[in-house]
A = this chain, B = another copy of it.
Amino acid sequence: MSEKKVVIIGYGTGGMTAAAYVKNYCRECKVIVFEKRPYPIYHPCSLPDVISGYLKPEDIIEKEPMTPGLEFYVSTTVTRIDRDNKKVYYKGPNGEGEVEYDNLVLAMGSIPWAPGPLKKALELNNIYTLKTPEDAVAIRTKALNSKTAVVVGAGAIGIETALALHELGLEVYLIEALKEVLPGALDPDVGKIAHRIIEEHGVKVFVESPVSSITESNGKLVVEVKEEKIEADFVVMATGMKPNTQLAAEAGLELNERGFIKVDDYLRTSDPDIYAVGDLIVTKDYVTGKPTVSMLATPAFHQGRIAGLNIAGYEKKYPGTLAPFILQLENLAVGGVGLTKTRAEKMGLKVKAMRIQAWDKPHFMPDAEKAYIKIVYDPSDGRILGGQVACKRCNASKYVDLLSALIRNRATVEDLVYTETSYMPRVSEVYSPLFVVGESILRRLKKI
């Protein structure tokens, strides 16, 4: 059997998983990985825990690749893809080189992004982005010598960073341009609940507040928001990520209008020998079948699996993503999966939604609280299209994952009512909040 060369560029969740599946499912494959970091991989979702000190940077860095037997290059950047000759050119600690490929996997992930007017601010002193363990250490070091911080952007990373900084004793401002925190991920009504919980921690939250400028003044930064000027020792820009697709663009691969790589159901790019997975692709929404972008580790993992199996000779379609997400700390738990109402309406879909509040644990337990659950559904047949949850200490990941399983199975709200859930007062009520919202919807649909 002749050897098959598989080159993987980038060893985040997507690249790591693709490498593992090719290695484990293809005997004749040789897997070569290029990673620009000086170590194979780190765990980006734990960066806020490094800022707070809950974890040390070395806890979240892996010194060895996750799969043995890979040809692995660290501190090495791929500089060019030559599709005609099926070669990649790279530059590493030992100089430049080139390597041929039979299949190539693009998994270079994403890079921090700031909206136009703030791009320049990224060059100021004491402005940080949070993408790497080194960033987290720099922010922590600065925070330990500071009193006031501004976090711009109230997505998951922004919220976690703000809470971590607040835990370190800083006065923290969290500023969001859009209507509510976690825009995109949650509908504004559920975002508002998360917003209130974050404020209860002591973080000052401003929504609908685009930052108009960030300037330096006497060693401080001044963040201008609407009529207000906030002075801070430093600023963290958590305004989002953009796909790291310059290399792909230069190679002439098809991108969408926002610069994400287009892939087919097998996760092949416009060049069928080249696959792409993770943050840098535009993929398929499981519910609608429409293109979507989801810069989350869960879909990157599943995409890496599918691409790896396809390279190994299986023919597997990627079914699309429901993008389940969770932000769960000691006193804040929010999550969602599938379509939000906002997104469905933007797509012109006729959906309905119901939001309820119900006990996460029985009311008599000392740590009992009510969880907010919102379900987006198709009123014509009761099919569940999406769900959101917000609470302080409830088991949000349980609700999100159960909804993910149900939506994948094209289940209806009736299934929320008839799914039996485990009961023990220490962890759950005899009927889940999902039962409560399901029954409320059934009643509204006159289907009880």
Which A residues form the contact surface with B (CB < 8 A)? 13, 25, 43, 45-46, 49, 55, 59-60, 296-299, 301-302, 309, 314, 319, 321-329, 335, 337, 362, 364-366, 395, 397-398, 400-402, 404-406, 408-409, 411, 415, 418-428, 430-432, 448
Contacts and interface: CB of A to CB of B under 8 A. Distances in A.
17 contacts: A25-B448, A45-B424, A296-B423, A298-B430, A325-B423, A326-B427, A327-B424, A335-B422, A397-B398, A397-B422, A397-B424, A397-B427, A398-B398, A398-B402, A400-B422, A401-B419, A405-B411
Contacts of A422: 298, 324-326, 335, 337, 397, 400-401, 404
Contacts of A397: 395, 398, 421-422, 424, 427-428
Contacts of A448: 25, 309, 314
Given A406-B405, A415-B408, A428-B397, A423 B297 contact: yes
Given A301-B431, A404-B421, 14 more contacts: A46-B364, A59-B364, A302-B420, A327-B424, A397-B424, A398-B401, A401-B421, A401-B422, A401-B432, A402-B402, A404-B422, A405-B415, A406-B409, A408-B418
Contacts of A421: 298, 324, 397, 400-401, 404
A404 B322 CA distance: 20
B404 A408 contact: no
Contacts of A415: 405, 408-409
Contacts of A319: 418
Nearest to A403: B405
Residue among A46, A319, A423 with most chain B CB within 10 A: A423
B297 A430 contact: yes
Nearest to A327: B424
A448 B308 CA distance: 12
B362 A425 contact: no
A323 B420 CA distance: 7
B395 A420 contact: no
Contacts of A328: 424, 426-427
B425 A49 contact: yes
A301 B420 CA distance: 9
A167 B138 CA distance: 45
A218 to B, nearest CB: 38
Nearest to A296: B423
A25 B43 CA distance: 52
A229 to B, nearest CB: 34
A324 B49 CA distance: 35
Given A405-B406, A411-B409, A428 B55 contact: no
Residue among A59, A302, A430 with most chain B CB within 10 A: A430
Given A13-B430, A395-B398, A420-B321, A46 B409 contact: no
